[in-house]
Amino acid sequence: MSQPWVPFDDRGLSYGDGVFETILLCQGRPMLWALHVKRLLEGCRRLAIDPPDESALAATWQAPPGGEWEVLKIIVTRGSGGRGYAVPEVATPRLMSRRVPFQPDPSAWRQGVGVRICSLRLARQPCLAGIKHLNRLENVLARQEWQTPAYREGLLADSHDMVVEATSMNLFWQQEGRLMTPALDQCGVAGTLRAGLIEAQHVVPAQLALDELAAVNRLWLANSVQGVWPISALWSSEGACLRRWEPPQDDPLQAVAHPLLGYPATP
């Protein structure tokens, strides 16, 4: 599959000076499109990058579907140039995209996944918190901590041992009948599925310390591509099993989240 290229002096390559989105296409239609556009524009605003036109963004998926499910990745960089870190007076941002086939994982929806707690602690940087910028070395380093497929994801806490997210998914928990998710004002990526669930008042942002994690009624990971994975087992960084949960019969998070993605509410 052909793909776009960027020159050496593109600031996305030089400094990670840009943002990206990873979008589920169902029969060619983008799921949660408005929320992806909203986050991308918010990222551009926070970094002071000239945002792309919404019509240019929409053109990234206006080709015939390449299958039932695809993933569309969009990158927007500030473009080329500038003297060192100083941004050019007139920057010409680059908008690039690529579509690849995708298969959701119904067994993860039904049986849940094993998850470990990463050793790496996310740094707190409110200037970059929430947006999906291109500085993702913390995620890359955290994902390198394990190889075994027994762990489908790794949970990340911040330098204050507050739970934040997983390397590429948001975290949700249930306590006293309420669905909650970490607030992400210090670090982490505010996922679009999470945003949709908060907007619809299904989920409330809250705080959760690492040492409270094993005591919650139920835990999930979710993002706008994979949908909702119940966590069936939680492991420490050292490989000790901290807790197991039975996958729920009627999953309250899947019931509200999956319809937003074209996935079955009761998989």
87 lies in the site for a second copy, by CB under 8 A: yes
Structure token pair of residue 59: 């053109």
- Which part of the chain contacts a second copy (CB under 8 A), choosing from 15-23, 53-61, 238-246, 252-260? 15-23
One residue of 27, 92, 111, 144 binding a second copy per CB under 8 A: 144
Query: Is residue 149 a contact point for a second copy (CB under 8 A)?
Result: no
Q: Which is nearer to a second copy, 38 or 160 (CB)?
A: 160
Residue (96 or 234) nearer to a second copy, CB? 96
Among 62, 63, 84, 177, binds a second copy (CB under 8 A): 84
- Residue 40 or 142: the one with the smaller Cβ distance to a second copy is 142
CB 96 within 8 A of CB 79: no
- 148 interacts with a second copy by CB under 8 A: no
Residue 243 identity (one-letter amino acid): R
- Residues in the interface with a second copy (CB under 8 A) total 49
Distances (CA, A) of 16 to 3, 12, 110, 265: 19, 4, 37, 37
Q: Decide if 260 contacts 31 (C-beta within 8 A).
A: yes
- Choices 13-21, 29-37, 208-216, 236-244 (CB under 8 A): range interacting with a second copy: 13-21
Hey, what are 246's tokens? 């039975």
SS3 call for 8:
coil
Asked whether the beta carbons of 132 and 169 are under 8 A apart, the reply is no
7 scored as a contact of a second copy (CB under 8 A) = yes
CA atoms of 173 and 191, how far apart (whole Å): 15
d(C-alpha 254, C-alpha 94), whole Å:
36
The binding site for a second copy (CB under 8 A) comprises 3-17, 20, 47-48, 73, 75, 77, 84-87, 96, 98, 120, 123-125, 127-128, 133-144, 159, 167-168, 187
